[in-house]
A and B are shown apart, each in its own frame.
Chain A
Amino acid sequence: MTMTGTMTQTASRAALTLCGADLLADPSGALLWPAESILAVADLHLEKGSAFAARGRMLPPYDTRATLDRLADLIAMARPARVLCLGDSFHDRRAAERMDPADVERLRGLTAAVADWVWISGNHDPEPPQGLGGRVVAELSLGPLTFRHEAQPGAVGELSGHLHPAAAVALAGRRVRERCFAHDGAKLILPAFGSFTGGLNVLDAAFDGLLAPGFEVLMTARGRVYRFPCDRLSPDRAR
């Protein structure tokens, strides 16, 4: 595959290498693999708002639209040959039924405009809906890298989502907490991309045994990516 001109290193992106593959962390929370013209995003959680509404919490119904807007902007800019959605793209099995028709059309347009659109299945969407374009796989391996929803302990060259990593740093008596990429050189966990997806602190027990000690985070904040070693981070709650 040819390298796309717009998948280049910029001041706002951060470069990293995973098992020999040169990757770029975009401040939007998307990961770019220029050599393969791949754009990867995790945990879109489309229709999370309406899932809450069904349970009586009337969150705004615009999260799908907002997420697709951001994804469309990214695709228009990076022009990837392949888009990988790393699971939990839909908040639940009935998400597509609840989606506004305009959003459905929008998503169909997006999947049709990319040469290869891949839905990797996740725990929220073990069977991503049909009829929206793209193909469904459980996981995908390309060269040294494997893309899947949930990280597996000990896996090497693995990119996953699922955990919604976020990191917090205490600075001069104050605290900043944002979504982040987390990686240890062998595996990488992507931040959640969806508009209504919160973050789980990378120091939480849920990350235990997945990342090697001394891992690094790439924190996304206000259009930039900031790098911090794990020993600089602060937990949300002590364990």
Chain B
Amino acid sequence: MDAPSPALIPPNVAAWFRSRGWAPHPHQVAMVEAAERGESALLIAPTGGGKTLAGFLPSLIELAERPREGLHTLYISPLKALAVDIQRNLEQPIAEMRLPIRAETRTGDTPEAKRKRQRTHPPHMLMTTPESLALLLSYTDADRLFRNLRCVIIDELHALAGTKRGDLLALGLARLSRLAPAARRVGLSATVAEPERLLAWLSRRGRYDGTPADDVRLVLGRSGAQAEVEILTSQERVPWAGHMAMHAMKEIYERVRRQRTTLLFVNTRAQAELVFQALWRVNDDNLPIALHHGSLAVEQRRKVEGAMARGELRAVVATSSLDLGIDWAAVDLVVQIGAPKGSSRLVQRIGRANHRLDEPSRALLVPANRFEVLECRAALEAVHDHTLDGEAPRPGGLDVLAQHLLGMACAAPFLPDELYEEVVSAAPYAAMTRDEFDDVLDFVATGGYALGAYDRFQRLKLREDGRMAVAGPAVARQYRMNVGTITQEALLRVRLNRGPVLGEVEEYFIQGLTPGDTFLFAGQLLKFLGVREMEAQVAKGGTGDPKVPAYAGGRLPLTTHLAERVRAMLADPRQWDGLPEDVQEWLRLQRYRSVLPNRDGLLVETFPKAGKRFLVAYAFEGRNAHQTLGMLLTRRMERFGLGPLGFVATDYVLAVWSLRSPQDMGTDMDALFDQDMLGDDLEAWMDESSMLRRTFRNVALIAGVIDRRHPGQEKTGRQVTFSSDLIYDVLRKHDPGHVLLRATRADAAGGLTDIRRLSDFLARVRGRITHKDLDRISPLAVPVILEIGRERVEGSATDELLAAAEAELLAEAMPELATPKAASSKRAEPQQGRLIL
């Protein structure tokens, strides 16, 4: 390790490092150096490299040498828990070096009195979240509080940039730079594919076009030893379909037995529950194995984290709830169950194994089905090649900007010209035109409706000096009640027999249960008793097949980068060496019976099965894009007279079944997959789509058109639910160009509909479609066909479901008239976004 420059590291700090038996890392010195010159900096380093200390070190030095009062350093983390953790970790060096520094946290949990005091007598260092920062900036005393700020540290920047929370934070930073022009920005990030994007995000010059930001210094932490990643070669046959890897539980358990501590990552909370159960079934040695996911009660999670930190656990089954932050003692092995879906994610998860940089991290990938074998292999190669997923930056959300503009008006009356300049200095909004800005401002002020009916109800008023000001204190109150961009499904607490709270599940899941139903939660089989006092009451035990919690979200689609690797691997038999024998045989059979999907084009197979015609498209564009493709394709098939009956989408393929096959009707594949499906069909589908409705609800919440539901508010008086769907329907018909709808469509282009990716795909395969008409199912098609009935197609066909229920009742009442039951696997959307009437 280089000897630290004595000029940079003052003696008492150097002495402290020595007392710990450490020497400052070169990247820590580089951060001090950047700070000395007043430069902003981005530090990219793997977890455990003293990254946080590197971020704070310059501030510690500055305050040690020139003690002062007032807020000096602001630390922003995506997680409340992380802010608390960091504050605790800083206490030690501050105490040991006897530095005159007060460090405090401020989150939604901070008591009111302390929050007030923090504004009048701020600590030197404040640890907070993007939402709390937005609130602080909206107070009329924000100027006084932040005027002498010297440094803003943004932790886990990779997890914030490119999200709506990141947009809100970027706008907050733009404001901070105006209040405190001297403040440096410091970003801390895990390894990412394209650091340039994070540099641009941190820059004060608001460019997002890929040109390198010249006002932010890039500091790279020493990367650790090359990770040792292996794919589990099961003695069992690799399953054709499914996501739970139940076949490999015994083998996973054996690995757990051989290590001190193992972290088992899964992709969804439902998977976590099942894997946890399965491991305990084979846990003959009664090893302490715990469960950790975002729905469990906080106390429960803290307990697990504590036990893990003390080294009392042998294994923890976890979801992405453990992806970020909190350090704990050494982990010997990381097991990824199910395919990792992206190489960046895998690298970050592997990084959780072993926080000692000089030893390699060890990881085991457990594919749950045959396609996942290919995907795991692709991910492993990506890790070896150090290639990560890069996602193109998307422009900042208009809904987030609307919220921010209102917050800025709450702080002080503003000149629109000045605020526009400030907003476009935030990277996500760099490309925003003045017209767009004015539209959003108009929305904030009067609703921005074409009808112009609300001029007399404005929330912002134009004063004579040309500044916009909030119309009254009620506006500011409303803003503060609704700040933030995190929108989530309503949650219900799960309570065991009026005893302890086990955690929270989405309300709609509970609403789909009838008393007596069973489900897996918090690692046990529970019987649903009913909802009382806004809580789901459950008892242990029960019989029958559990309904596993079908939690919303949590399932990330396969990244473009991994998809490309999987396609390349499939197309090239030379790359099959080392795949399990049954997988190789599967691919050889596919080549013999049909053809292999090629690298750049699209293979479409058609075949008859059980009286229906199947069409399987090997698109490899991820579940969300396939879902959208399925909706659009079935619409078109309907028009072509093919009689589509249903479809199922996986991360790899789309299968559609219909009464007639395309060739029966003289339809060729080029026409079926023509890009113009993204025109009218898309419009028509999007208008009805439940995904768009959900997206709209979130946009309306963030933009402040509907209020958030706060706990305890729901039961006040007679309550009538007022669904954001009603607003959506009316707006779409009468004001289709409204800024809220524009924001909704922009969100939908990524996210759940992944239209952007689908559009790239259709362009890529144009004129390159290989159609194989087969007389029976091909080997490669088997997994997706097995998924039918297992997967639910999200759709809007509630009517079928209702008709089925009604028919069932009729049959019960009048068996002689019974009609065959309409099968349906369609799912109804829960109503969200309530207002008190």
Q: Which residues of A contact B (CB under 8 A)?
A: 50, 52-63, 65-66, 98, 100, 164, 166, 168-177, 195-200, 204, 206, 219, 221-224, 226-229, 232, 234-238
Q: Is B446 an interface residue (CB 8 A)?
A: yes
**B711-746 interface (Cβ within 8 A of A):** 714-715, 718-723, 726-727, 729-731, 733-735, 738
Q: Which 6 A-B pairs have the closest CB atoms?
A: A58-B447, A198-B722, A62-B734, A238-B531, A61-B453, A53-B457
Query: Within the assembled complex, what's the spacing in Å between the Cα atoms of A65 and B451?
Result: 11
- Known contacts A57-B707, A65-B734, A175-B511: A221-B805 contact under CB 8 Å: no
Query: Within the assembled complex, what's the spacing in Å between the Cα atoms of A96 and B530?
Result: 45
Cross-interface CB contact of A66 among B471, B533, B734, B799, cutoff 8 Å: B734
- Known contacts A58-B443, A66-B730: A229-B798 contact under CB 8 Å: no
Q: Is the CB of B799 within 8 A of A224?
A: yes
**B814-837 interface (Cβ within 8 A of A):** 824-825, 827-828, 830-831, 834-835, 837
Give every chain B residue within 8 A of A236 (Cβ-Cβ): 511, 721
Which A residue sits closest to B798, measured CB to CB? Answer: A176
Q: Is the CB of A206 within 8 A of B532?
A: no
Q: Is the CB of B801 within 8 A of A172?
A: yes
Between-chain CB contacts (< 8 Å), 19 pairs: A54-B457, A57-B835, A58-B449, A59-B705, A62-B451, A66-B733, A100-B451, A169-B802, A174-B801, A176-B828, A196-B730, A200-B721, A222-B799, A224-B799, A224-B802, A232-B809, A237-B531, A238-B530, A238-B532
Give every chain A residue within 8 A of B454 (Cβ-Cβ): 50, 53, 58, 61
Shortest Cβ distance from B814 into chain A, in angstroms?
13
Query: Within the assembled complex, what's the spacing in Å between the Cα atoms of A227 and B814?
Result: 14
Cross-interface CB contact of A221 among B446, B475, B547, B798, cutoff 8 Å: B798
Give every chain A residue within 8 A of B719 (Cβ-Cβ): 200
Q: Is B352 an interface residue (CB 8 A)?
A: no
- Known contacts A198-B835, A206-B718: A59-B727 contact under CB 8 Å: yes
Give every chain A residue within 8 A of B720 (Cβ-Cβ): 164, 197-200
Which B residue sits closest to A100, measured CB to CB? Answer: B453
Cross-interface CB contact of B801 among A65, A164, A176, A206, cutoff 8 Å: A176
Cross-interface CB contact of B806 among A56, A196, A228, A235, cutoff 8 Å: A228
- Known contacts A58-B454, A61-B447, A206-B718: A198-B828 contact under CB 8 Å: no
Q: Is B803 an interface residue (CB 8 A)?
A: yes
- Known contacts A171-B805, A198-B720, A237-B531: A58-B446 contact under CB 8 Å: yes
Give every chain A residue within 8 A of B449 (Cβ-Cβ): 58, 60-62
Q: Is B459 an interface residue (CB 8 A)?
A: yes
Shortest Cβ distance from A217 into chain B, in angstroms?
12
One digit per residue, 1 when the CB lies within 8 angstroms of any chain A CB and 0 when it does not, for chain B 236-261 equals: 00000000000000000000000000
Query: Within the assembled complex, what's the spacing in Å between the Cα atoms of A66 and B730?
Result: 7
Q: Is the CB of B802 within 8 A of A176?
A: yes
Q: Is the CB of A226 within 8 A of B827?
A: no
- Chain B: interface size category: 35 or more
Give every chain B residue within 8 A of A227 (Cβ-Cβ): 806, 809
Query: Within the assembled complex, what's the spacing in Å between the Cα atoms of A10 and B267?
Result: 49
Give every chain B residue within 8 A of A59 (Cβ-Cβ): 447, 705, 727
Give every chain A residue within 8 A of B682 (Cβ-Cβ): none
Other contacts beyond A58-B454, A171-B805, A238-B530: 14, CB < 8 A: A56-B475, A58-B446, A58-B457, A60-B730, A61-B447, A61-B449, A66-B730, A171-B802, A197-B726, A200-B720, A222-B798, A224-B803, A226-B805, A234-B514
Query: Within the assembled complex, what's the spacing in Å between the Cα atoms of A172 and B802?
Result: 11
Query: Within the assembled complex, what's the spacing in Å between the Cα atoms of A196 and B728?
Result: 10
Query: Within the assembled complex, what's the spacing in Å between the Cα atoms of A224 and B532?
Result: 33
Query: Within the assembled complex, what's the spacing in Å between the Cα atoms of A166 and B531?
Result: 19
Which A residue sits closest to B535, measured CB to CB? Answer: A238
Which A residue sits closest to B805, measured CB to CB? Answer: A171
Shortest Cβ distance from B811 into chain A, in angstroms?
14
Query: Within the assembled complex, what's the spacing in Å between the Cα atoms of A224 and B801?
Result: 13
Q: Is B804 an interface residue (CB 8 A)?
A: yes
Give every chain B residue within 8 A of A57 (Cβ-Cβ): 478, 704-707, 835
Shortest Cβ distance from B825 into chain A, in angstroms?
8
Q: Is the CB of A175 within 8 A of B508?
A: yes
Give every chain A residue within 8 A of B804 (Cβ-Cβ): 171
Q: Is B111 an interface residue (CB 8 A)?
A: no
Give every chain B residue within 8 A of A229 (Cβ-Cβ): 809
Q: Is the CB of B803 within 8 A of A226?
A: yes
Give every chain A residue within 8 A of B457 (Cβ-Cβ): 50, 53-54, 56, 58
Q: Is B95 an interface residue (CB 8 A)?
A: no
- Known contacts A54-B457, A175-B508: A60-B722 contact under CB 8 Å: no
Q: Is the CB of A170 within 8 A of B705?
A: no
Q: Is the CB of A60 within 8 A of B731?
A: yes
Give every chain B residue within 8 A of A60 (Cβ-Cβ): 447, 449, 727, 730-731, 734-735, 738
- Known contacts A62-B731, A232-B809: A173-B513 contact under CB 8 Å: yes
Query: Within the assembled complex, what's the spacing in Å between the Cα atoms of A197 and B451?
Result: 21
Give every chain A residue within 8 A of B803 (Cβ-Cβ): 224, 226
Which B residue sits closest to A45, measured CB to CB? Answer: B837
Shortest Cβ distance from A12 into chain B, in angstroms?
11
Give every chain A residue within 8 A of B508 (Cβ-Cβ): 175
- Known contacts A62-B451, A196-B722, A228-B809: A170-B512 contact under CB 8 Å: yes
Q: Is the CB of A226 within 8 A of B806?
A: yes
Q: Is B474 an interface residue (CB 8 A)?
A: yes
Highest count of chain A CB atoms <10 Å: which of B447, B471, B706: B447
Q: Is the CB of A62 within 8 A of B547?
A: no
Query: Within the assembled complex, what's the spacing in Å between the Cα atoms of A237 and B831?
Result: 13
Highest count of chain A CB atoms <10 Å: which of B727, B731, B824: B727
Shortest Cβ distance from B407 into chain A, in angstroms?
14
Give every chain B residue within 8 A of A221 (Cβ-Cβ): 798-799, 802
Query: Within the assembled complex, what's the spacing in Å between the Cα atoms of A55 and B799?
Result: 37
Q: Is the CB of B453 within 8 A of A196?
A: no
Q: Is the CB of B831 within 8 A of A177?
A: yes
Query: Within the assembled complex, what's the spacing in Å between the Cα atoms of A98 and B547?
Result: 51
Highest count of chain B CB atoms <10 Å: which of A57, A98, A166: A57
Q: Is B462 an interface residue (CB 8 A)?
A: no
Give every chain B residue within 8 A of A196 (Cβ-Cβ): 722, 726-727, 730
Q: Is the CB of B735 within 8 A of A62?
A: yes
Q: Is the CB of A50 within 8 A of B453?
A: yes
Q: Is the CB of A198 within 8 A of B726?
A: yes
- Known contacts A56-B459, A175-B830, A236-B721: A61-B799 contact under CB 8 Å: no
Give every chain B residue within 8 A of A219 (Cβ-Cβ): 802
Q: Is the CB of A56 within 8 A of B478?
A: yes
Cross-interface CB contact of A198 among B451, B721, B802, cutoff 8 Å: B721
Q: Is the CB of A173 within 8 A of B798?
A: no
Highest count of chain A CB atoms <10 Å: which of B454, B474, B729, B827: B454
Highest count of chain B CB atoms <10 Å: which of A168, A173, A200, A223: A173
Give every chain A residue within 8 A of B432 (Cβ-Cβ): none
Which A residue sits closest to B703, measured CB to CB? Answer: A58
Q: Is the CB of B799 within 8 A of A53?
A: no
Give every chain A residue within 8 A of B471 (Cβ-Cβ): 56
Q: Is B61 an interface residue (CB 8 A)?
A: no
- Known contacts A62-B451, A196-B722, A232-B809: A173-B532 contact under CB 8 Å: no
Q: Is the CB of A173 within 8 A of B547?
A: yes
Give every chain B residue within 8 A of A222 (Cβ-Cβ): 798-799
Q: Is the CB of B828 within 8 A of A171?
A: yes
Give every chain A residue within 8 A of B474 (Cβ-Cβ): 55-56
Which B residue sits closest to A91, measured CB to CB? Answer: B837
Query: Within the assembled complex, what's the spacing in Å between the Cα atoms of A204 and B720?
Result: 10
Which B residue sits closest to A61, measured CB to CB? Answer: B453
Query: Within the assembled complex, what's the spacing in Å between the Cα atoms of A171 and B837?
Result: 28
Give every chain B residue within 8 A of A62 (Cβ-Cβ): 449, 451, 730-731, 733-735
Q: Is the CB of A198 within 8 A of B834?
A: yes
Q: Is B491 an interface residue (CB 8 A)?
A: no
Q: Is B534 an interface residue (CB 8 A)?
A: yes
Q: Is the CB of A58 within 8 A of B834?
A: no
Q: Is the CB of B459 within 8 A of A58?
A: yes
Shortest Cβ distance from A17 into chain B, in angstroms?
17
One digit per residue, 1 when the CB lies within 8 angstroms of any chain A CB and 0 when it does not, for chain B 492-512 equals: 000000000000000010011
